[in-house]
Chain A
Amino acid sequence: MSEGALPKDDAVLRVDDLQKSFGGLAATDHATFAVERGTITGLIGPNGAGKSTLFNLISGFYEPDGGTVEVNGTDVTGMEPYQVADHGLIRTFQTPRKLEGMTVREAMLVGPRNQPGESFVNLFARPGTVGESESTNLAEAERILEEFEIDHLATQPATDISGGQMKLVELARAMLAEPEVLLLDEPVAGVNPTLAKKLKDQIRRLNEQGTTFLLIEHDMEFVMDLADPIVVLDQGSVLTEGTPEEVQGDDRVIDAYLGGGT
């Protein structure tokens, strides 16, 4: 069992010996790896390798049976998702989540963390502060929508836009939460090539501005072009980690995808 052996001095996310079983199935089997600050780290592996389980463990949606998760040097193992988010880790979901009855910019405004207006008491005790922060957030939301070139959708119903646009909105919204590390679960699944390229450009741009990414993706061309390093997961544990070239040339990876899985 080879582990993520690259030296990482400044890891924003560190997963150590993480375990999770469902009944007799070890979905995550002593997985260990780290995500270096400032990188776009890819997480690949055949179907059933445990990528989504790993995401759920890291983000607090599942409670691990063993092992630890550290975000920014803080142990967040067993914390609630909202607490993990408070430490700077935000995730998205494989299928875009729909917010019924909201416009796109309303849905965007769910993103910012710790808004004064999220306290019921503040609504009546400090309406001025609430209004100011709402103005700021709205301006920020519209700025990000513009950067993503979807500002024309701002007042559209959030449920009426295309799947690809939803993915863009989801990414844009996650950015409003100002994450230090953003976990993307299949950002381009079911997205047409033009939009996928746009998403790739956006992720790259945001990365250059300082956000660290960890992304699961099945589209090999997409992930090999975007991510470096790449962590390969197989049967719940880390098979190998390396640059796209190294991973592509690794026989064990090819085995896992072609032979080992079934």
Chain B
Amino acid sequence: MSLLSDPKAAVDDLSRPEAWVLGVSVAFALFLLGALLTGALGPTYFLFLVGLAGMYALLSFGLNAQWGFTGLINFSVAAFFGIGAYGSALMTADSSPIAGGFNPLVGLAVALVVAFVLALLIGIPTLRLRADYLAIASLGLAEVVRLIVLNERWLTNGSAGVRGIPSFFEGWPVFSTLPETMPGLRLVVIPGSPILLGTSFWRASLNVLLVLAFAGATFFVLRRAHRSPWGRVLRTIRSDEDLARALGKNTYSYKMQSFVLGSLIMALAGVFYTHLNLYVGPGDLDPITTFYAWVAVILGGSGSNRGALFGGIVIVTIREGTRFLNDVALPIDPAPLRLLLIGVVIVAVMRYRPQGILPPQRELIWPSAVDDRDPPDPPSSGVREQKGGGGDE
């Protein structure tokens, strides 16, 4: 099954949409590589985009853990993202009106604790009720958090935002000075347009490393959780909460766990964003972030971690890729075009592939339990495929 040990078999094992996505991804990567080598895309900016893609992937992972796994409708993605961003910014920045100057790891811890408490506070009254109450309450929560951040100047600097945020590796041995100590590189791929890799490039590389670590760890945790009996209970709740209750599952507790887990992941995305952008303002809490995350999850396929990753990357491609359209003569501005494109993508997905591009396609049973059986059951690929094809729902 491993891509490394037996690439041919691994590729043969893919379902059609998987192969399709793999192909498009490879083509896209080659395109980016070409742009990088020819100097059309600055390497530092490219790494910033990779960081942004990682951040959106984290947001989608978080929402997927709530909506995709358990069916919880959370419209306060931006709020938890903002809690993460402001939590770490206020702890670490020079200009912080409260504490400030702490090690970023302290900021990370504080951000996660605040997000945890907030998730509990909103979950306790709403998770016992029907799903729509959480949706409404979370919509309100997002606005409350945004307005507090905007208006409570003594706490957040208000509309001025928080500046002077150190990089995440500030104060670490080796890492904190790595960008300065790395040698500047000069690559000449095409004669006449050399590519310079200096301090900012290395700093961006560290950020990418950080987001890869965050997203990688999150992906590992979610994948294991998704295939476990724990994840199975969540999926049962999503399909039919009463059934889970009748079978002796404490659904309130499971919904709370899923909600808190997702919220923590969103806060993690916020923490990363703080140290990527080095500035946070109330504008970062705009509801549009919430909807980008929703688009990413629905596009990728609700319930699928890979889908969430894919959706996050697509969102960044549309959001940032449209900037390059400035050079092309277009009848409309790129900014509205961005929203239009996202709208078109969503309509197209809903019309032609309502389950999303990469929905979960294999049985989710704890791997060792399935591997034990001999001969190994053929992976019953396309559980959802068949359903989607039949159009019975």
Residues of A near B372 (CB, < 8 A) are 135
Contact check, B251 vs A134: say whether CB atoms are below 8 A apart. Answer: no
Select from chain B the residue with minimum beta-carbon distance to A87: B248
CB under 8 Å from chain A, chain B span 241-261: 242-251, 257, 261
Contact between B370 and A160 (Cβ–Cβ < 8 Å)? no
Q: Contact check, B233 vs A159: say whether CB atoms are below 8 A apart.
A: no
The reply on B386 being an interface residue by CB < 8 A is: yes
Knowing A92-B246, A120-B225, A177-B247, the reply to whether A131 touches B239 (Cβ < 8 A) is no
Which of A110, A116, A117, A124 is within 8 Å of B244, CB to CB? A110
B16 at the interface (CB under 8 A from A): no
If A98-B239, A99-B240 touch, whether A130 touches B246 (CB-CB below 8 Å) is no
Q: Could you tell me the distance between the alpha carbons of A130 and B232 in the complex, rounded to whole angstroms?
A: 13
Collect the chain B residues with CB atoms within 8 Å of residue A114's CB.
248
Docked pose: A218 CA to B228 CA in angstroms? 39
Q: Are B359 and A109 in contact (CB under 8 A)?
A: no
* Contact pick for A117, options B243, B261, B366, CB 8 Å: B366
**Which of A80, A92, A106, A111 interacts with B365 by CB under 8 Å?**
A106
Residues of the A chain whose Cβ atoms lie less than 8 Å from the Cβ of B243: 93, 97, 99, 110
- Tell which of B106-114, B289-297, B305-313, B377-385 binds the partner: B377-385
**Across the two chains, which residue of chain B brings its CB closest to A123?**
B228
Q: How far is the CA of A155 from the CA of B373 in the complex (A)?
A: 14
The yes or no answer to A81 lying at the interface (CB within 8 A) is yes
Question: Taking A120-B230, A123-B230 as contacts, is the C-beta distance between A102 and B247 under 8 angstroms?
Answer: no
- Cβ B224 vs Cβ A134 within 8 A: no
Question: A103-B363, A157-B387, A160-B387 in contact; A134/B244 too (CB < 8 A)?
Answer: no
Q: Are B229 and A160 in contact (CB under 8 A)?
A: no
Q: Please report which residues of chain A, range 42-59, place their CB below 8 angstroms from some CB of chain B when the two chains form the complex.
A: 59
A155 contacts B377, C-beta separation under 8 Å: yes
Report yes or no: B236 in contact with A99, Cβ–Cβ below 8 A. Answer: yes
Pick from A86, A123, A155, A177: contact of B363, CB below 8 A: A155
Contact A90 B246 (CB under 8 A): yes
Q: How far is the CA of A135 from the CA of B225 in the complex (A)?
A: 17
Within 65-93 of A, Cβ neighbours of B (below 8 Å) are at 80-82, 85-86, 90-93
Interface SS of chain B: helix, strand, loop or mixed? Answer: helix
CB of A101 within 8 Å of the partner chain: yes
Instruction: Say if the beta carbon of A248 comes within 8 Å of chain B.
Output: no
- Asked if A81 meets B246 with Cβ closer than 8 Å, knowing A131-B366, A134-B365, the reply is yes
Asked whether any CB of chain A lies closer than 8 Å to the CB of B369, the reply is yes
- B326 adjacent to chain A (CB < 8 Å): no
- Do B390 and A160 touch (CB < 8 A)? yes
A101→B302 CA distance, assembly (Å): 11
Whether A98 pairs with B240 at a CB distance below 8 angstroms is yes
**A124-B224, A155-B377, A173-B247 as given contacts; A138 in contact with B369, CB under 8 Å:** yes
Identify which of residues 112-151 in chain A touch chain B, using a CB-to-CB cut-off of 8 Å.
113-120, 123-124, 127, 130-131, 133-135, 137-138
Do the beta carbons of A90 and B366 come within 8 Å of each other? no
* Smallest CB gap from A179: residue in B: B248
Complex interface: chain A residues within 8 A of B235 (CB): 99, 101-102
Is B393 in the interface zone, CB < 8 Å from A?
yes
Q: Are B383 and A119 in contact (CB under 8 A)?
A: no
A134 to B236, CA, bound (A): 17
User: Which partner residue on chain B sits nearest A133 by CB separation?
Assistant: B229
Q: Is A61 an interface residue (CB 8 A)?
A: yes
Interface string of A172-200 (1 = CB under 8 A from B): 01100100000000000000000000000
A109 and B365 form a contact (CB under 8 A): yes
Q: Which residues of A contact B244 (CB under 8 A)?
A: 110
**A106 and B370 within 8 A (CB):** no
B363 pairs with A113, CB closer than 8 A: no
Contact A138 B365 (CB under 8 A): yes
**Contact call A134/B377, Cβ cutoff below 8 A:** no
Are B250 and A82 in contact (CB-based, < 8 A)? yes
Contacts of A177 in B (CB 8 A): 247-248
B5 at the interface (CB under 8 A from A): no
How many angstroms between the C-alpha atoms of A173 and B221 in the bound complex? 28
**Contact residues in B for A173 (Cβ distance below 8 Å):** 247
The 8 Å CB contact of A120, one of B247, B257, B373, is B257
Q: Which residues of A contact B384 (CB under 8 A)?
A: 101, 157
B12 at the interface (CB under 8 A from A): no
Q: B281-300: which have CB < 8 Å to A?
A: none
What are the residues of chain B within 8 A of A81 when measuring CB–CB? 245-246, 248
A61 touches B242 (CB 8 A): yes
Q: Is B392 an interface residue (CB 8 A)?
A: yes
B54 at the A/B interface (Cβ < 8 Å)? no
Residue ID in chain A nearest B379 by CB atoms:
A155
Task: Name B383's contact: one of A101, A131, A138 (CB within 8 Å).
Answer: A101
Shortest distance from the beta carbon of A110 to any chain B beta carbon, whole Å: 5
- Residues of chain B lying within 8 A (CB to CB) of residue A157: 383-384, 386-387
Contacts of A61 in B (CB 8 A): 242, 245-246
- Which residues of B lie under 8 Å from residue A160 when comparing CB positions? 386-387, 390, 392
Chain A residues contacting B364 (CB-CB under 8 Å) are 102, 106
CB of A197, distance to nearest CB on chain B (Å): 26
Q: Is B360 an interface residue (CB 8 A)?
A: yes
Can you list 9 A-B contacts (CB < 8 A)? A85-B245, A99-B235, A100-B387, A110-B249, A117-B229, A117-B230, A123-B230, A138-B373, A159-B392
- Residues on B lying within 8 angstroms of A by beta carbon are 221, 224-225, 228-230, 232-233, 235-236, 238-240, 242-251, 257, 261, 303, 359-360, 363-370, 372-373, 377-378, 380, 383-384, 386-387, 390, 392-393
Given contacts A110-B247, A133-B229, 18 further A-B contacts (CB under 8 A): A59-B246, A80-B245, A82-B248, A82-B249, A82-B251, A85-B248, A93-B243, A103-B363, A106-B364, A109-B365, A120-B225, A123-B228, A123-B230, A124-B224, A131-B366, A134-B369, A155-B363, A174-B247
Q: Which 4 pairs, one residue from A and one from B, show the smallest C-beta to C-beta distance?
A: A85-B248, A117-B229, A134-B369, A131-B368
